[in-house]
Amino acid sequence: MRALTLVTCLLAIALPAQAEKGHVHGEGSLEVVIDKESLSLRLELPLDVAVGFERAARNDKEKAALAAAQQALADPALFAPTPAAGCKAEPARIEMPKFDGNKPVEHADIDATYQFRCATPAALKSVETTIFKSFKRLYRLEARRAGPTGQGAGRLTPKTPALTW
Amino acid sequence: MKAVLRLAALSAWSRRLTLGLTLIAIALAVTLLLAVERIRVDARQSFTQAVSGVDLVVGARTGGVQLMLHAVFHAGTASNNITWDSYRAIATHPAVDWALPLSLGDSHRGFAVLGTSADYFAHFRHGDKEELRFRDGKAFTGVFEAVLGSEVARGLGYRLGDAITLSHGLVERGAEHGDKPFRVTGILAPTGTPVDRTVHVSLESITALHLDWVGGAPLPGVTIPAEFVAKFDLRPKEITAALVGLKQRSDVFRMQRFINQYRGEALLAVMPGVALDELWQSVAMVERTLLAISALVVLVGLAGLAATLLAGLNERRRELAILRALGAGPGQIFVMLTAEGALVTAAGAALGLILLTLGSGLAAPWLLERFGIVLATRLPGSQELALIGAVITTGLLASLVPGWRAWRMSLADGLTPRN
């Protein structure tokens, strides 16, 4: 019985309601879906990770930082699926947070969506990212995946920047 | 060389008590090490196998783990139910292909009773997307009909057409639903998952069972005979959880958000594969610690072996000196001592493997019942063989020490009388 309690405690620590990942500075989330020949990635980054603030830009320097972040994220080459799968990237969709004037907000996230068309999706075994090189304030990406072989999760960090399955 | 090994064996036999104790220590340590590894591998295996093809598990907002444990492994308890209306809202969502309601809480002689819809047998998948197969009979069609998992039928010796009585709650001697017996209409083929230990009935049967119950006990003076229950509205008001399959996999994250933000009720949707991966990520530390501790225990055992052999050298000075005098070279003495240590380690590892097999056979039913872990009786896997190899290598290395000491002893050492 004690062992069961122990296991339950471990599990309880392990799984803090996985869906509702809050907004954590330094941590982004990545959703990976493989459906037939399409591979789609949905990236959510706290704005702080990209530019160092979470409010409307106050001066030209901050405006430039926002534009640079948007441009960096718009490059689908940030993510490299298994080369053998022969995936071709479609233009990325970046949604920058909208601010209502200078009204303070609690948190702001950038949403980015990347679409790939893969010639041999069965060969898809991993997605590697160079995002940590572009965004030094990003410490990790919590990735979740759903594909023909099942579901999975992984943690991407600057040292292990690939999700494999 | 053969003669040296034979001498080593005979000499070891003459010191069988000390060496035997050392051997037992090594065997126990190896058992512990292999058990940690086997439970780790089998737990992953059986959790992953237990559910396949389910996109989302939906339940009340508690914790992802409780939900998974309860809905899929029928272990632990659910804190809350979800309403039938919420379930219908999810089941009829355009993105949803199929949804299976699950209602847990009753039991039959220690086996969980699962109230669900007949669709369960068509949509539920386990292992590598394998369907449920009927060994005998067919799915339930009406109230008071039951489909048994293979283990339930085997363990309790039930056959098609038998009548069984369910108990309220999970206690073996809980209040009985004795007035409303169930007829067995089907028995499933073995799956190696919690399904084997489950009695499946329709949701309507669960409602019907509790028609004349209020607050967890039968209403005194009120009994509704089984033949009249059809007159009542048997639609369930609440269920424990639901398994959801989607038309398109790409909708899974969107659907998860929809359910988690559902306005009518606090719901939680868990992606089972993601939940398990996140679980392994977080217990990886604990696993590594357990493995490290058991590796240390093995090291302690092997250190004990080296110590025993070293201590034995003193008593065996005469024996070794006589061997030298009879023409054995220092190399042969070295081989003899080292071989003795290596043999004891190898025998310990073999005994440990036997103990593991016996022990896992004994623990398997308990692990399955408590945690839903299927502990398979099988030959050691590659990882286990690697561990055994590491143990024997370490044992060999540890035996080099007494071997080297014996080599260094001079010929005259045991022959010169000293105080």
CB A54 within 8 A of CB A147: no
Mean pLDDT of chain B: 85
Q: Report CB contact under 8 Å: A35, B250.
A: yes
User: What pLDDT score was predicted for residue A16?
Assistant: 45
User: What pLDDT score was predicted for residue B92?
Assistant: 93
Q: Report CB contact under 8 Å: B275, A144.
A: no
User: What pLDDT score was predicted for residue A55?
Assistant: 84
> CB-based burial of residue B32 (10 Å sphere; 0-12 exposed, 13-18 middle, 19+ buried)?
buried
Cα A115 to Cα A13, A151, B35, B134: the distances in Å are: 34, 19, 45, 43
The verdict on A147 touching B (C-beta cutoff 8 Å) is yes
Q: Report CB contact under 8 Å: B275, A154.
A: no
User: What pLDDT score was predicted for residue B306?
Assistant: 92
User: What pLDDT score was predicted for residue B9?
Assistant: 83
User: What pLDDT score was predicted for residue B80?
Assistant: 83
- Measured between beta carbons, which residues in chain B are less than 8 angstroms from residue A16? 63-64
Mutation test of the interface with chain A: which of B48, B57, B65, choosing the one with the most A Cβ atoms within 10 A?
B65
User: Residue B221: is its pLDDT beyond 70?
Assistant: no
- Complex prediction ipTM: 0.78
User: Residue B157: is its pLDDT beyond 50?
Assistant: yes
Residue B385, CB-side half-sphere exposure with 13 Å CA sphere:
5
User: What pLDDT score was predicted for residue A117?
Assistant: 94
CB B59 within 8 A of CB B267: yes
The verdict on A151 touching B (C-beta cutoff 8 Å) is yes
Residue A24: how many other CB atoms lie within 10 Å:
15
Query: Percent of chain A, pLDDT > 90?
Result: 52
User: Residue A17: is its pLDDT beyond 50?
Assistant: no
Give the Cα separation of B107 and B175 in Å (integer).
10
What ranges do the domains of chain A cover?
A: 24-164
A106-117 mean pLDDT:
89
Q: Report CB contact under 8 Å: A33, B274.
A: no
Q: CA of A10, closest CA in chain B: separation in Å? A: 7
CB B256 within 8 A of CB A19: yes
User: Residue A7: is its pLDDT beyond 70?
Assistant: no
The verdict on A1 touching B (C-beta cutoff 8 Å) is no
- Measured between beta carbons, which residues in chain B are less than 8 angstroms from residue A14? 65, 278-279, 281-283
User: Residue A101: is its pLDDT beyond 80?
Assistant: no
User: Residue B78: is its pLDDT beyond 60?
Assistant: yes
- Measured between beta carbons, which residues in chain A are less than 8 angstroms from residue B249? 33-35, 146-148
User: Residue B361: is its pLDDT beyond 80?
Assistant: yes
Lowest-confidence region among B9-18, B49-58, B101-110, B368-377: B368-377
User: Residue A81: is its pLDDT beyond 90?
Assistant: yes
Between B33 and B174, the higher pLDDT residue: B33
User: What pLDDT score was predicted for residue B283?
Assistant: 85
Length of chain B: 419
CB B69 within 8 A of CB B276: no
User: What pLDDT score was predicted for residue B414?
Assistant: 65
Number of A to B CB contacts under 8 A, please give it. 101
User: What pLDDT score was predicted for residue B275?
Assistant: 86
DSSP sequence for B20-53: HHHHHHHHHHHHHHHHHHHHHHHHHHHHHHH-BS
Please report the beta strands in chain A, taking only residues with DSSP state E, as ranges in sequence order: 27-35, 38-46, 79-81, 87-89, 93-95, 109-118, 126-129, 140-147, 150-156, 162-164
B51 — pLDDT class (breaks 50, 70, 90): confident
B234 — pLDDT class (breaks 50, 70, 90): confident
B142-159 mean pLDDT:
90
**Structure confidence by residue, pLDDT tens digits, A123-156:** 999 999 999 998 999 999 999 999 888 888 999 9
What ranges do the domains of chain B cover?
A: 2-47+280-408, 50-277
B389-404 mean pLDDT:
92
A66-88 mean pLDDT:
92
Q: CA of B47, closest CA in chain A: separation in Å? A: 13
For Cα atoms A142, A143, A148, give the angle at the middle one, nearest 5 degrees: 165
B223 — pLDDT class (breaks 50, 70, 90): low
Please report the beta strands in B55-95, taking only residues with DSSP state E, as ranges in sequence order: 56-60, 82-83
**Structure confidence by residue, pLDDT tens digits, B288-346:** 999 999 999 999 999 999 999 998 888 888 888 888 888 888 888 888 888 889 989 99
**Structure confidence by residue, pLDDT tens digits, A18-60:** 444 567 888 999 999 998 899 999 999 998 888 888 888 888 9
User: What pLDDT score was predicted for residue B219?
Assistant: 66
Angle formed by the axes of helices B2-14 and B16-50, nearest 10°: 100
Nearest to B304 by CA among B19, B47, B7, B87: B19
Give the Cα separation of B144 and B216 in Å (integer).
20
Name the DSSP letter for residue B167.
Answer: B
Query: Percent of chain A, pLDDT > 70?
Result: 84
B175 — pLDDT class (breaks 50, 70, 90): low
Residues contacting residue A160 through CB under 8 Å, at least 6 positions apart: none
Q: Report CB contact under 8 Å: A14, B268.
A: no
